[in-house]
Amino acid sequence: MEGRRRQASNKIVICVAGLPGCGKSSLAKRLAEHYGLKYASGGEALKALAAEAGYRPTNIGWWESEEGMKFLRQRMEDLSFDKKVDEELLKLAKGGGIVLDSWTMPWLFKEGFNVWLEASLSVRVKRVAKRDGISYEEAAALVKDKEKGTKSIYERLYGFRICEDYSPFDLIVDTDLLSAEEVFQVVRSVVDSLIFRAYASFTIL
């Protein structure tokens, strides 16, 4: 059984998506650690490109900072940043054995197990305000601007509409009333049942 689990891990691709403050990065990292998979983040890849462009994306709340929002505006004018990141993530996805933290991969990579983390705006704003040490009002304005800009980028690049089209997702989890641990346990149980258990049954046959 353990051998079949390792075989499945080498092939599996899990994509975690969701709006700012939903907890997708925390979940993706936890899943990668739990299953012994690689981890790749679209946000971290974009930060690397931002650093090459002269930004200093160091602190946790950088995306909601003045500099992070400036980079977002640059991305809206030059879509090549996001295009380059997605091309790299697609290469990683095709190699298997990875968890992707990405807004776009559920649409662009068809063979993954795709998870959408849902959370209300008020809950997400509270989480961002607490994480970044800013006021609720400031966090609300930043979150709304980031969402609007990012959605615009991906609609222009690929034509899909985030938060309107949920067809790529195999699992949607409402995180409003769940802790990070509870979200992980919910997703883990589904992945175990639908992917690892199914793979083990298939290999026996």
Phi, psi of 86 (to 5 degrees): -65, -35
In CATH terms, the fold of domain 2-204 is Rossmann fold (3.40.50)
pTM of the model: 0.88
State residue 11's pLDDT score: 81
| DSSP single-letter state for residue 38 | E
Q: Compute and round to an integer the Cα radius of gyration of the chain.
A: 17
- Residue 117: exposed, middle, or buried by beta-carbon count in 10 A (0-12, 13-18, 19+)? buried
Residue 98 contacts residue 39 (beta carbons within 8 Å):
yes
**Which strands sit side by side in the sheet containing 113-118, from one edge to the other?**
38-41, 98-101, 13-18, 113-118, 171-174
Residues 142, 150: Cα–Cα separation, whole Å: 12
Please, what is the average pLDDT of the chain?
90
Which tens digits make up the pLDDT trace of 78-120? 999 999 999 999 999 999 999 999 999 999 998 999 999 999 9
State residue 60's pLDDT score: 77
Percentage of the residues of the chain whose pLDDT score is greater than 90: 77
Residues 6+ apart with CB under 8 A from 92: 38, 40, 98, 100
Domains of the chain, by residue range, sit at: 2-204
pLDDT < 50 regions, the chain = 1, 3, 201-205
**DSSP states of 106-124:** HHH-TTSEEEEEE--HHHH
Structure tokens given for 53: 């462009």
State residue 199's pLDDT score: 55
